[in-house]
Amino acid sequence: MNAPCLHLLPGREKSLLRHHPWIFSGAVQTVSGDPAPGDTVEVRDAHHRLLAHAAFSPASQIVGRVWSFDPEVIIDRAFFADRIAAALRLRRAVGLDVPEGGCRLIASEADGLPGLIADRYGEFVVCQILSAGAERHRQLLAELLQEATSCRGVYERSDVSIRAREQLPERTGVLLGETPPDTIEIRENGLRLLVDVHHGHKTGFYLDQRANRMAIGQVAAGKNVLNCFAYTGAFAAAALAGGARHVINVDSSGPALALAAENCRLNGFGPDRCENRRQDVFEALREYRDKQQRFDLVILDPPKFVDSKAALPRGCRAYQDIARLGFQLLNPGGILASFSCSGLMTPELFQKITADAALEAGVSGRIVRRLEQAADHPTALAIPESFYLKGLLVRI
């Protein structure tokens, strides 16, 4: 019996030959074998050459996500166990998968497991399952993650709208083992930080900013700091640990700021050094500007402003607006730390936007340092989309 198969149109195999794992619906001529969503299918070119094995997702524009480009491979328990083991070896090689820490164990396509995000927080693993293929194997993946990490429990946080693109419902809850506590304490760069895995953003924390928080600590000594889109205040804790005089956290979420206050307290920083302000960041920036309040370091770590090509012009304007306002709030010699987590925002475009913002603010700047996602969020050479987080430290 022939295996289910995606048959490509002539000439549409080029990206697969470069080992890019996405197969768009417009590249497929026919589908044979009547596969169900999440089933493994062969991928063959117009000459019937077997190119890859992929997960089938008929509801998505990305109709196939490649598991393997090896024609001989079998997509079974051993395959997934090997992929998870390889991902863990990568993290351990750079010293990031430690029992008391937080670490991204699986970064979807970048680790050869499209649609699976897995973060370790102490003794628990928190997953997001984002594609039909990962959904098809969700329980097996949970079992393998528990075996590989000896964690107490695997918890699912698949409460994200992107699942709708694959006609999957949002879902949260225990996949295996114990239920994690309301907050989990992790250690990062010597800091104690609390993570809300049940209700926090993503899986509870932004592990991708680990190295960048260290970079902020290295330039924060003696500075008065404004931390925008502060979430649970990890940048604030890093700045204070680096010797900042005072930090103001601004975020629209009350629960996130409550955890930010607790994170400061855990690390011995009293309320006299860290203020939490619940407000829309754009409003707060304009208010500080109008009051002519100035800072030595302004941190801008906004949510993703660009989630599609159509949204790119509007998103560019938003990034430029906050950067302009941030520049206007700096004392002479001050530093702007500006970030974008939008994958469609290239480093070159982000620098141009930041330069335009400086011009609008009437300042000139020099790039002190370029920043990017942490090492446990790897960039696969063949998948440029796996590089998404970029940042600039700019001194005026």
Tokens of 110: 């970048």
* Residue 251 near residue 230 (C-beta atoms within 8 A): yes
The two most distant CA atoms of the chain are separated, in Å, by: 74
103 in catalytic set = no
- CA-wise closest residue to 253 among 219, 236, 228: 228
From 151, 228, 316, 341, active-site residue: 341
Whole-angstrom distance, CA of residue 108 vs CA of residue 328: 39
* Cβ proximity of 394 and 387 under 8 Å: no
Enzyme catalytic residues? 341
